[in-house]
């Protein structure tokens, strides 16, 4: 039985230039500091709130402007495979959804090009009257948010999460893998990721073979 909907992570899957590193680079956040905070969060050393605070404090210190923010996130490098698989899924009348831990401004732009049935993000940036960054809102930890959003869409469609497929490539996709029981790991070699994946693929069009074999 073909899945009624397939969920896709965005960065590293549908687009090849992840938004957070791009934005960090634009404001001058050093790679080593970015990696340090990432490792501390996923290593359980700091909370999601502290991680967000660290980055937000840096953005404010560097006076991130709305103009730079929009300019940086307006240049999107799509993975060519994303167009192929979305066209295939539309032909098969299988719905699609983008479930991202990214910023709504950016994910909305991606969605306008790929035209999924649904899209969700986990960050909304705010700027003051002078156009300077003040803070960002987010629901909760990225991995938990993805589970919440998948469940919400499944509830709306009156389907079970385990009847769907979730395509991802990193740590914050693993809880969605567990929820759906059909996590598809894209171009991932990390042993912990592989452990929780139902299938592993190197090309998004490999999803076609998975669907046709079900």
pLDDT in tens, 170-204: 999 999 999 999 999 999 888 889 999 999 999 99
d(CA 210, CA 214): 6
Q: Burial level of 102, CB count in 10 A (0-12/13-18/19+)?
A: buried
Query: Residue 114's pLDDT is what?
Result: 98
Give the domain ranges of the chain. Answer: 5-16+76-213, 20-72
pLDDT for residue 209 is more than 90: yes
How does strand 165-168 pair with strand 183-186?
Answer: parallel
Query: Residue 59's pLDDT is what?
Result: 98
Query: Residue 214's pLDDT is what?
Result: 81
Mean pLDDT value of segment 155-159: 98
Q: How confident is the model at residue 49 (pLDDT cuts 50, 70, 90)?
A: very high
pLDDT for residue 97 is more than 80: yes
State the chain's mean pLDDT as an integer.
96
Handedness of CA 63, 75, 170, 90 (dihedral sign): positive
DSSP letter (8 states) at residue 15: B
Instruction: Quote the percentage of the chain above a pLDDT of 90.
Output: 91
Query: Residue 188's pLDDT is what?
Result: 86
pTM, two decimal places: 0.95
Residue whose structure tokens are 């993805």: 146
CATH ID of 5-16+76-213, from 3.40.50.300, 3.40.50.1000, 3.40.47.10, 3.30.930.10: 3.40.50.1000
Query: Residue 94's pLDDT is what?
Result: 98
CA distances from 150 to 43, 53, 177, 197 (A): 25, 26, 11, 17
């Amino acid at each position: 039985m073909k899945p009624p909907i397939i969920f896709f992570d965005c960065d590293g899957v549908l687009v090849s230039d992840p938004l957070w590193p791009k934005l960090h680079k634009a404001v001058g956040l050093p790679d080593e500091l970015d990696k340090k905070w990432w490792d501390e969060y996923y290593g359980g050393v700091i909370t999601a709130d502290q991680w967000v605070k660290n980055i937000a404090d840096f953005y404010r210190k560097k006076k991130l402007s709305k103009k730079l923010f929009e300019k940086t996130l307006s240049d999107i490098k799509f993975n060519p495979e994303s167009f192929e698989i979305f066209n295939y899924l539309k032909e098969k009348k299988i719905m699609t959804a983008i479930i991202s831990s990214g910023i709504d401004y950016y994910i909305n732009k991606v969605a306008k090009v790929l035209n999924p049935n649904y899209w969700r993000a986990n960050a909304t940036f705010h700027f003051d009257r002078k156009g300077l960054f003040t803070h960002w809102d987010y629901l909760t930890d990225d991995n938990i948010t993805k589970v919440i959003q998948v469940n919400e869409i499944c509830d709306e469609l009156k389907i079970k999460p385990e009847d769907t497929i979730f395509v991802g490539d990193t740590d914050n996709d693993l809880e969605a893998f567990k929820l759906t029981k059909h996590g598809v790991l894209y171009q991932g070699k990390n042993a912990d990721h592989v452990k929780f994946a139902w299938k592993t693929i190197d090309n998004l069009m490999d999803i076609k073979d998975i669907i046709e074999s079900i």
